[in-house]
Structure formats: structure tokens, C-alpha cells
Amino acid sequence: MSLATVSETRCFGGRQVTFKHDSRSTGTAMRVAVFLPPQAERGPVPAFWFLAGLTCTEDNFAQKAGAQRVAADLGLALIAPDTSPRGDGVPDDEAYDFGVGAGFYLDATEAPWSANFRMRAYIEDELPALLAAELPLDMDRQGLSGHSMGGHGALTIGLRNPGRFRAVSAFAPIASPMNCPWGEKALPRYLGPDRAAWRAYDACALIADGARLPEILVEQGTADPFLAQQLKPELLEDACREAGIGLTLNRRDGYDHSYFFIASFIADHLRWHSARLGL
């Protein structure tokens, strides 16, 4: 279960590393990109997790967000897992929004997906334990964020584990998969037809069922082509208002769904997280 280094390069005085390991959760080899700031050479540093969106891998955030400079200044590790299991024998679908690259950060219960698509167990349990055992990370100080499908993952994992993450944010998250085409396609195929089983993977449903976070930060571009049909941030606004959760929803005029959008505001999120992580 130990980490093997795939690639490593110096970056802003720290190290940008891609690791691989055999996962018991997914039954496949998995990869994760980790930036260790220069402060990690002196001892454990807080961790900022970023969960990527549909079609992405562990490389997208590491290569496109431009987060390492600020993370190095703050002394913050960046952790970017892959979005799904991959490899020979892993079931797939020809569409981009289901199967490989579209794990939705859930544990599938329906065949054939249930054999490998166990991203909830992987992200919530297996990967944190592995990284904590092998890297200089302060796991008492963790923040969680993500983009699109990964924003959905960040919100739902954060809501299910409120004591683990001191800060939770998202970029253009799928606010309610139970109420959008992406989720209405993926959830029944992964989890079966019982909508009650879907609620653990819907931020708005989790909040309605009693899950709480003290505050959430969300960025949303107004020119995002998925805004009205897929993302629906107004549903998260309503859920947080009714539950008394402090939601800061920044609607960014003219920004779309791309990593140019993420790169424009990632420094704000890193500083917001670092303040809550005691940096």
C-alpha cells in the first residue's frame, strides 16, 4: 500500500510529486498529485485537498490552477487525487459524464460499477491514512475544496465529516445532483433507483437531513455554460439559508467553467483556508 513516486520536480522551493499506489478501495492502481511546500522539510504542514471535475485526472489542478506559489508562501500542502479508478477491467461508458473520469466521489452499489467505483471510501478513509503515514502532513489541519463534480465531492464529503475539515469551499459545484441531468444520469446507475440512497451524495439533501458546517465559500462564474441546468447554486443558497449555514457565494461576472476561472480565484481560497487552519 506504500506510495511510489511517478514524477517529482522542484517548485517554488518545494516539491511537486505524483505518487501511485495500489488501492484496496478501488481494486486498481491510483495516482495522486501532491505539492509539499518548503516548510514541509522542517515538519508537518496543513493540507488543502482539491477534488477535480468530470474528465479530469490528478494532473489538472496541479498543472493548471497555479496554486503552488501561494501555497509555498503559506506553508500549505496541496493534495489532488484522481477522479475515478482506471485501468484494464474497469467498467466504462462511452459518455464523458459517466464511468472512468466520472466517479462522483461515491461508493457504487450497482454492478458492474460496485467492484471498482468506491471513491468515497478512497477519499474519506484510504488515501488520507496512506498520506498521513508517509508524508509530513498535519492531518489535524485540513481544508477541502473542488471544482464542478469535485465541488459536489467537496461539499458532500465536508458535510459528512464536519470534524475533519476546518474549512470547505468549492468552485462551480454541482449543488444538487438529485436535481440536475448529470446526477439524474449517474446516481441511479451507480446506486440504484431508490432516491433515498442518493441523499448521502447531494449537498442540499444532506443539509436538509441535518448535516452542518459553520461556513462554506463558493465561487461561481456567471458565464458558466452549465450554470442553469447542471450547477444550480440557488438550491445551495436556499438550503444553507434554511439551515443557518454561513454561505459566501461569489458570483463572478463573465467567468466560465474553465481552469482560467479557478486560477483567477484560487489564491483567495487558499488564503481563506489558511486563516481557518491557523496559518
Does the structure show a pLDDT above 70 at 93? yes
Question: What's 124's DSSP letter?
Answer: I
Q: Residue range 92-121: average pLDDT?
A: 98
Domain span including residue 176: 4-277
- Give the H/E segment covering residue 276: helix 259-276
Q: What CATH number has the domain bearing residue 95?
A: 3.40.50.1820
Q: Does the N-terminal peptide bond of residue 128 adopt cis geometry, omega within 30 degrees of 0?
A: no
Domain count, the chain: 1
Q: What is the pTM of this model?
A: 0.97
b (16+ CB within 10 A) / e for 104-129: bbbbbeeeebeebbbbbebbbebbbe
Does the structure show a pLDDT above 90 at 42? yes
Dist CA 142 CA 214 (whole Å): 15
Give the Cβ contact number of residue 97 at 10 Å.
Answer: 17
The model's pLDDT over 75-89, given as tens digits with 9 standing for 90+, comes to 999 999 999 999 999
Question: What's 125's DSSP letter?
Answer: I
Instruction: Please answer whether residues 68 and 13 qualify as being in contact, where contact means their C-beta atoms are separated by less than 8 angstroms.
Output: no
- Give the H/E segment covering residue 73: helix 68-74
Does the structure show a pLDDT above 90 at 46? yes
Active-site residue, 224 included: yes
pLDDT at res. 139:
97
The model's pLDDT over 131-158, given as tens digits with 9 standing for 90+, comes to 999 999 999 999 999 999 999 999 999 9
Active-site residue, 176 included: no
Residue 111 pLDDT level (bands cut at 50, 70, 90): very high
Dist CA 169 CA 158 (whole Å): 9
- Residue % of the chain over a pLDDT of 90: 99
pLDDT at res. 222:
98
The model's pLDDT over 193-237, given as tens digits with 9 standing for 90+, comes to 999 999 999 999 999 999 999 999 999 999 999 999 999 999 999
SS3 category, 14: strand
SS3 category, 252: strand
Dist CA 51 CA 80 (whole Å): 6
User: Considering just the CA atoms, what is the radius of gyration of the chain in Å?
Assistant: 17
- Which among 174, 204, 139 has a CA at the least distance from the CA of 54? 174
Q: Residue range 109-126: average pLDDT?
A: 98
Q: Residue range 37-44: average pLDDT?
A: 98
Catalytic residue among 21, 147, 152, 257: 257
The model's pLDDT over 20-33, given as tens digits with 9 standing for 90+, comes to 999 999 999 999 99
pLDDT at res. 1:
58
Catalytic residue among 148, 169, 176, 274: 148
Catalytic residue among 25, 202, 224, 274: 224
